[in-house]
Amino acid sequence: MFRKTLMAACAVFALGNTAQAATEITWWHAMDGALGDVVNQITEDFNASQDEYKLVSINKGGYEDTMTAGIAAFRAKNQPNIIQIFDAGAATIINAKGAVKPVQDLLEANNVKFDINDYIPGVRYFYADSDGKMIGMPFNSSTPLLYYNKDALAKAGVDVPKTWQEFEAAAPKLKEAGYTALAQSHSPWIFFENFMSRHNLQMATANNGYDSTDVEILYNNDALKDHWQHVKDWKDAGYYGYYGRAWGANQDAFVQQQVAMWIGSSGSFGGLRKSAQFEFGASTLPYWEGTGDAPKSTFIGGAALFAFSGHDAEQDAGVAEFFKFLTKPETQYYWHKETGYVPITNAAYELAKKDGYYKESPDAEVGITQLSEEGGEWTKGYRLGFYVQIREVIYREVDKIMNGEETVDAAFATIEEEANGLLKRFNDTYSN
């Protein structure tokens, strides 16, 4: 009896000890709903896989809320170890000198094998500095895709358009069949940023902003303006549905079969599978044949994980350990399958192929194929300050193009002027 009690006491003591010894690391993220559940599962799996570190993941709302929470916490010297920052906010955190530790340094310092070529081409340099050193760990990576209603296309007797020229030929037939041909959910991301990448056009001076904060935007160009003139003409002809800036409103139009094709994110796949009451498929983002040297790969959207500075070596080692776990092919494959985000490493992509996942659902591969398409000089990404506000300017001016308040030329002149004003402010703020 006495021995048993002693053993139990020892066991309790030992357990208590390990719990105490586990270093706690915190991760603030912007994944809620179904995505949040997947993040929690990954967190649990990581904690179960080792007993040195205990990861605590906390949802802080949407992308902007998470970034704001991170900023406030950092200023109060109470920052989490890991924070998820979205593409448009990357410049803000990377340019704040000393706010984060480059992921590549962190991994190498903790003897985790790191080779940037293990990552798929599309995500490799998006969160890297101008020398190609990875600063943020790509996490949820998505890319714009064209979703199409198979019944609608069959009814109109058209194929999925690969190019905008093909789209123009198909649109009248779809209209005749009773559909608006197209809608899309994110004008700045889909019809500005990725338009530039798809056609391999330079988006900003100074190497798309990677080399310096002293940059100017190059949106006011004929190819992009021409595209928007077409969009406006399509809208006036009843081929293009404009349901405002809200992501959901445009997606709903597709789900409710008002529009036959919709451009959303590769990450929209899971949601559509639940809500759409019809057969749909996914295809690559259309391009203008003969513009730039299209087709080239698109940018990644989504967000990356950054390791805040100001933590001790032991916690940083935990962060490195978690990143190692996160980039394992099995974890990435699980993430890819559950969410529709693309796997970020070649090994994970191979694993998904080997497992026969794409045979079973071929549409899930479209996103990663598009990101693995041939890259060009201007397809690796962009790094522009106050880009959140620049997107606001774009949203605003697109509204004005669509309601006829302004011509395409006038709207693009405003975008150029205001974006450059913001970039200058950013440069003045961050360059000293």
Partner 1 sequence: MKRVQFEHSAVPYLFIAPQILIICIFFLWPAAQALYQSFLLEDAFGMSSQFVWFRNFEDVLSSSSWTRSAIFTVVFSVMVSVLSIAISLFLAVRADEVIRGAKSYKTLLMWGYAIAPPVAGLLGIMMFNPLMGDLYKAFNSFGFEFNHIENANDAAFIVILIAVWKQVSVNFIFFLSGLQGIPKSVQEAATLDCKSPERRFWTITFPLLAPTTFFLLVINLTYAFFETFGIIDVSTKGAPGGSTATLVYKVYVDGFLGADMGGSAAQSVLLMIMVSVLTVFQFRFIERKVHY
Residue 365 exposure: Cα atoms within 13 Å on the Cβ side? 16
Going by the DSSP 8-state scheme, the letter that residue 300 receives in this structure is P
Instruction: Return the number of the residue (191 or 386) whose C-beta is nearest partner 1.
Output: 386
Residue ranges with strand state E in 117-222: 137-142, 144-149, 180-184
Give the 3-state secondary structure percentages of the chain, helix then strand then coil, rounded to 5. Answer: 55, 15, 30
Instruction: Return the number of the residue (342 or 398) whose C-beta is nearest partner 1.
Output: 398
Q: Give the nearest distance from C-beta 95 to partner 1 in angstroms.
A: 7
Contacts of 177 (CB under 8 A, 6+ apart): 152, 155, 156, 260
What is the distance between the alpha carbons of residues 404 and 119, in angstroms, rounded to a whole number? 44
Strand partners for 85: 304
Q: Give the nearest distance from C-beta 396 to partner 1 in angstroms.
A: 5
State the burial class of residue 381 (Cβ atoms within 10 Å of its Cβ: 0-12, 13-18, 19+).
Answer: buried
Torsion 293-386-102-131 (CA) sign: positive
What is the distance between the alpha carbons of residues 58 and 176, in angstroms, rounded to a whole number? 50
- Helix (H), strand (E) at residue 54: strand 53-59
Q: Give the nearest distance from C-beta 70 to partner 1 in angstroms.
A: 9
- Find the farthest-apart pair of alpha carbons in the chain and give their distance in angstroms, rounded: 89
Contacts of 347 (CB under 8 A, 6+ apart): 118, 329, 332
Torsion 262-339-245-284 (CA) sign: negative
Instruction: Return the number of the residue (233 or 293) whose C-beta is nearest partner 1.
Output: 233
Q: Give the nearest distance from C-beta 32 to partner 1 in angstroms.
A: 16
Q: Give the nearest distance from C-beta 225 to partner 1 in angstroms.
A: 18
The string over 334-343, giving b where at least 16 C-beta atoms fall within 10 Å of a residue's C-beta and e elsewhere, is bbbbbbbbbb
Instruction: Return the number of the residue (67 or 366) whose C-beta is nearest partner 1.
Output: 67
Instruction: Return the number of the residue (202 or 258) whose C-beta is nearest partner 1.
Output: 258
Contacts of 158 (CB under 8 A, 6+ apart): 169, 170, 173, 174
- Helix (H), strand (E) at residue 101: strand 100-101
Q: Give the nearest distance from C-beta 308 to partner 1 in angstroms.
A: 9
What residue has token string 């693995």? 372
Residue 75 exposure: Cα atoms within 13 Å on the Cβ side? 7
What is the distance between the alpha carbons of residues 357 and 92, in angstroms, rounded to a whole number? 37
Q: Give the nearest distance from C-beta 265 to partner 1 in angstroms.
A: 19
Q: Give the nearest distance from C-beta 5 to partner 1 in angstroms.
A: 54
Q: Give the nearest distance from C-beta 284 to partner 1 in angstroms.
A: 27
Instruction: Return the number of the residue (193 or 418) whose C-beta is nearest partner 1.
Output: 418
Instruction: Return the number of the residue (244 or 362) whose C-beta is nearest partner 1.
Output: 244
Instruction: Return the number of the residue (93 or 272) whose C-beta is nearest partner 1.
Output: 93
Instruction: Return the number of the residue (41 or 256) whose C-beta is nearest partner 1.
Output: 256
Q: Give the nearest distance from C-beta 397 to partner 1 in angstroms.
A: 7
3-class secondary structure, 311 = coil
Instruction: Return the number of the residue (168 or 252) whose C-beta is nearest partner 1.
Output: 252
User: What residues line the site for partner 1 (CB under 8 A)?
Assistant: 64, 67-68, 71, 74-75, 89, 92-93, 95-99, 242-246, 249, 252-253, 256, 258, 386, 388-389, 392-393, 395-397, 399-400, 402-403, 405, 418, 421, 425, 428-430, 432
Q: Give the nearest distance from C-beta 422 to partner 1 in angstroms.
A: 8
Instruction: Return the number of the residue (68 or 407) whose C-beta is nearest partner 1.
Output: 68
